Amino acid sequence: MKRLFSLIRYNYQDIYKAFLFISAIILLLFIFPRTGKFKYEFSKGSPWLHDDLYAPFDFTIIKSDGEIENEKNELLKDLKPYFVFHEDIVNSNYQKLNDEFEKRWDTNIPDSLRSETYKKKNKDVILGIYSDLYERGILKPDILSEEKDRDYQITLIRNNIAEETTFNSLFTIQTANEYIYSSLDNYDNIENKFLASLLFDILDYNIIYDAGKTQEEKESLLSDILPTRGLIQAGEKIISKGELIININYQVLQSLKVSYEERLGSARNYYPILIGQIILVSIIMVVLAMFLIYFRRDIYSDNKKIVLILLLLLLMVFITSLVIKYNVSFLYLVPICLVPVIIRAFFDTRLALYVHLITVIMIGFLVPNSFEFVFLQMITGIIAIMSVAHLYRRSQFFLTSVWIFITYTALYIGLTLIQEGNLREINLVYFALFAGSAVLTLFSYPLIYIFERLFGFITDVTLIELSNTNNRLLRELSLKTPGTFQHSLQVANLAEEAIFEIGGNPLLIRTGALYHDIGKMDMPLYFIENQTTGVNPHDELTYDESAKIIISHVIKGIEKAKKYKLPEQIIDFIRTHHGTRKVEYFYIMEVRENPGENVDEKEFTYHGPIPFSKETAVLMMADSVEAASRSLKDYNEDKIDKLVDEIIDKQLETGQFENSDITLKEITKIKSIFKKKLLTIYHIRIEYPK
């Protein structure tokens, strides 16, 4: 048992990483459906590259979408929409017409004309016209009646009896009005205006489109369409080697593929398929782990980075599986390019491309027409990575989205031309899906922000925002401590140039250099670069008190950085820029004034830690060299060479770079760069001969 605990204790990190990858494998297997895959890859317009193919079993040929659509159109061509003749409206309006006629006759007709005979004549005329109108019926306008010709045939249901007719045989409000005027003109000695006005007020639609009944009839007709046609018998030859895959044999191959995968998905094949998926998924994840171990050890050593990579991979596979499960038609709406864009934002283009490759291959096991899918996503992903290779502006996300859409579109058109030989078969829906996928890729920006907060990572975009000298904290630094601000700018220039030459993150070190001395803002006059009046407050203090104030700027800087919510990667520069060195001036002065006494070195020593990366190590060198160079009385090449060598060699002797992954060769190169930069800063020229 002790041996087991000891093994776990000393191999905890490796065990934890193995747990992460095994957990990812289990989750992926849970996402994967237990269906097999057809063992042949093929695409329309390409030759059959395998041996002659014979049907392994009987199967029916599935109709193509085009065939089913043509059958639908053929059936629906004869469909006559249903309209209902409402007798209740006719009867109620007839009674209303009677009542209104009686009411308005006495109020609108002069006494001289109100004889019973004249009244009866007018009433008979208006009721006769009303009956004629509703004998045919008045059609309520709708989209269907407005789009179709007047000769368009419909089915009219009247008194539960269906009869075929046309729009021409029915009145509209306009034709009803015309009929009223023309009918009234046929009569002499009647109240035309009175009768017309009354009819116009009473008239109402009584023939109304029955959408429900029409839909029922439509569904009834479409239910007769069979999804399959014909039968391929076992042993029947399907396609020969080298034969071109065209519409006819392509549909047969698609039908075989569907039938084959349905048979593989049966209960008796569950465990073999599961074992196959375990093998394939495990190999893919092992390959990913090996890539990180051999080529990106820095990422492999950081568990948070591994979790982020695996989380993105799992998330994209899960989203794709959901889309396939509920509606495979929306497959190309899935923003697969989110993964490489986010990976590139946090790491580099090589890792982004590799993770994208792994993700697309993994999803390829789930999707239909996997070759086309993998081809489209791989090329589009590469273009997306190239568009964010140098991610310095937010606008690049929009440009990336545009390039994704353009790439998808161009590839789809190319594939269609190869497979169909023309552009007539292009489905415009795909362009909408490609546009949707491109737009959804813009979610990479908020996701990057979320992952920055969750995992404590930092991106180039954030570094650029922080390194802007108009940033609130840097503006405060320039106003309160102008000398320190100028020192920080010079340190940033030196460090950035050095790290660029030896390999590192120039943007990170520049940002860290700008903030490394923000702790001096609380007591600016205790630092010589900010003393402009000639008064030095250290003259009133003991050497150990002065040393404590100087050392405290590191702690105060960390506190201020946390108050302003600076990323930990920037705070690391504040922590480490003095390492565990001494405040040399005050320590030496204390020793000189107290000869023979034991001076407590801890009182004059920074608390550390020492630098632990190339960037933090280079910043320490640049900070010390730049500060010391200001103390030179005369600037010449020999003095600057000697100064740089002494300072950096002293840092090496005191073990300040023991935890940094920096080599002596790189340190030598850094010295050379610092010397050249300082010569440029102080404008050292060669001495001209007299």
**pLDDT single digits (tens) 139-152:** 888 777 777 777 88
The percentage of the chain sitting over the pLDDT mark of 70, rounded to a whole number, equals 95
The DSSP bridge pattern shows strands 59-62 and 207-209 to be unpaired
What is the per-residue pLDDT for 181? 85
Give the C-alpha separation, 376 to 410, whole Å.
Answer: 10
| Residue 515, burial from CB neighbour count under 10 angstroms (0-12, 13-18, 19+) | buried
Mean pLDDT of all residues in 365-383: 88
- Three-state DSSP at 582 gives strand
| Cα–Cα dist 660/579, whole Å | 12
Q: Please answer whether residues 617 and 662 qualify as being in contact, where contact means their C-beta atoms are separated by less than 8 angstroms.
A: yes
Cis status, amide bond into 47, omega within 30 of 0: no
CA distance 625 to 633: 15
For 457, the token pair is 């990572």
Any bridge partners for residue 83, and if so which? 156, 209
- Res 290: pLDDT: 94
C-alpha 613/C-alpha 505 separation (Å) is 11
Q: Please state, in angstroms and rounded to a whole number, the distance separating the CA atoms of residues 503 and 615.
A: 9
Please tell me which of 52-61, 191-200, 654-663 the model is most confident about, judged by mean pLDDT: 654-663
Beta bridge partners of 293: none
Provide the angle, in degrees to the nearest 10, between the axes of the packed helices 303-326 and 338-346: 170
Q: Can you name the residues that pair with 209 across neighbouring β-strands?
A: 83
Q: What is the pLDDT of residue 542?
A: 86
Q: What angle, 0 to 180 degrees and rounded to 10, lies between the N-to-C axes of helices 543-563 and 568-576?
A: 170
Q: What digits encode the pLDDT tens for the residues 581-614?
A: 988 888 888 888 877 778 788 888 998 899 999 9
Q: Cα(24)–Cα(391) distance, rounded to whole angstroms?
A: 29
Residue 654: count of CB within 10 angstroms of its CB: 14
Average of per-residue pLDDT across 212-223: 85
Distance, in Å, from the CA atom of 481 to the CA atom of 475, rounded to the nearest integer, reads 10
What confidence score (pLDDT) does residue 268 get? 61
Handedness of CA 431, 435, 436, 437 (dihedral sign): positive
| CA atoms of 544 and 304, how far apart (whole Å) | 42
Residue 245 and residue 44 in contact, taking contact as beta carbons nearer than 8 Å: yes
Give the strand pairing for 53-54 and 237-239. Answer: antiparallel
Mean pLDDT value of segment 195-207:
85
Percent of residues, the chain, with pLDDT higher than 90: 32
Please give the pLDDT value at position 417: 84
The three-state (H, E, C) secondary structure of 398-417, written as one string: HHHHHHHHHHHHHHHHHHHH
> How far is the CA of 12 from the CAs of 5, 63, 71, 289, 291, in angstroms?
10, 57, 65, 17, 21
Three-class secondary structure assignment of 240-308: CCCCECCHHHHHHHHHHHHHHHHHHCCHHHHHHHHHHHHHHHHHHHHHHHHHHHHHCHHHHCCHHHHHH
Q: What is the pLDDT of residue 267?
A: 54
Mean pLDDT of 299-304: 89
Contacts of 111 (CB under 8 A, 6+ apart): none
CA 230 to the chain's CA centroid: 44
Q: What is the pLDDT of residues 33-82, one digit of tens each?
A: 777 677 777 777 777 777 788 888 888 888 877 778 888 888 888 788 89
Asked whether the predicted pLDDT for residue 689 surpasses 60, the reply is no
Please check whether residue 527 is in contact with residue 481, taking contact to mean a CB–CB distance below 8 angstroms: yes
Is the CA virtual torsion 90, 91, 92, 97 positive or negative? Answer: positive
Distance, CA of 377 to CA of 360 (rounded, Å): 7
Q: Is the pTM of this model over 0.95?
A: no
Q: Residues near 561 by Cβ (< 8 Å), separated by ≥ 6?
A: 515, 518, 570, 571, 574
The pair of three-digit structure tokens given for residue 680, joined into one six-digit string: 């440029």
* Mean pLDDT over the full length of the chain: 85
Tokens matching residue 678: 């300082």
Q: Using DSSP, how many helices (H) and how many strands (E) does the chain show?
A: 29, 8
Distance CA 69, CA 394 (A): 45
Contact in structure between 573 and 619 (CB atoms under 8 Å):
yes
Distance CA 627, CA 237 (A): 85
Q: Which of 106-115, 358-367, 426-435, 515-524 is predicted least confidently?
A: 106-115
**Residues 6 or more apart whose Cβ sits within 8 Å of residue 93:** 130, 134, 202, 203, 204
More confident residue, 535 or 673: 673
Among 190-204, 280-294, 461-475, name the most confident range.
280-294
Phi, psi of 58 (to 5 degrees): -70, 135
In the prediction, which pLDDT does 264 show? 67
Q: Are strands 82-85 and 207-209 parallel, antiparallel or unpaired?
A: antiparallel
Of the pLDDT bands very low, low, confident and very high (cuts 50, 70, 90), residue 251 is confident
Give the bridge partners for 138, in sequence order. Answer: 171
Calpha distance 404→339 (Å, rounded): 13
d(CA 79, CA 674): 86
Amino acid 23: pLDDT: 93
- C-alpha–C-alpha distance, residues 122 and 230, integer Å: 71
Distance CA 652, CA 629 (A): 19
pLDDT digits (tens, 9 = 90+) for 351-373: 999 999 999 999 988 888 788 89
Tell me: pLDDT of 326 over 90: no
Helix (H, G, I), strand (E, B) or coil at 80: coil
Contact 318, 31 (CB under 8 A): yes
What tokens does 368 get? Answer: 């239909």
Indicate the pLDDT class of residue 636, thresholds 50, 70 and 90.
confident
Most confident of the following: 18-22, 62-66, 420-424:
18-22
- Of 119-128, 205-214, 415-424, least confident by mean pLDDT is 415-424
Q: What is the mean pLDDT of residues 639-646?
A: 89
* Cα–Cα dist 253/247, whole Å: 10
> What tens digit of pLDDT does each residue of 507-565 get?
999 999 999 999 999 888 888 888 877 788 887 888 888 889 899 999 999 999 999 98
Distance CA 669, CA 655 (A): 19
Q: Which of 475, 447, 262, 193 is nearest to 340 (CA)?
A: 447
The four Cα atoms 416, 421, 425, 428 give a dihedral, to 10 degrees, of 40
pLDDT of res. 629: 86
* C-alpha dist (Å) from residue 474 to 305, 319, 486, 488, 573: 30, 43, 11, 10, 15
Residue type, 211: A
Neighbours of 488 (CB within 10 A): 26
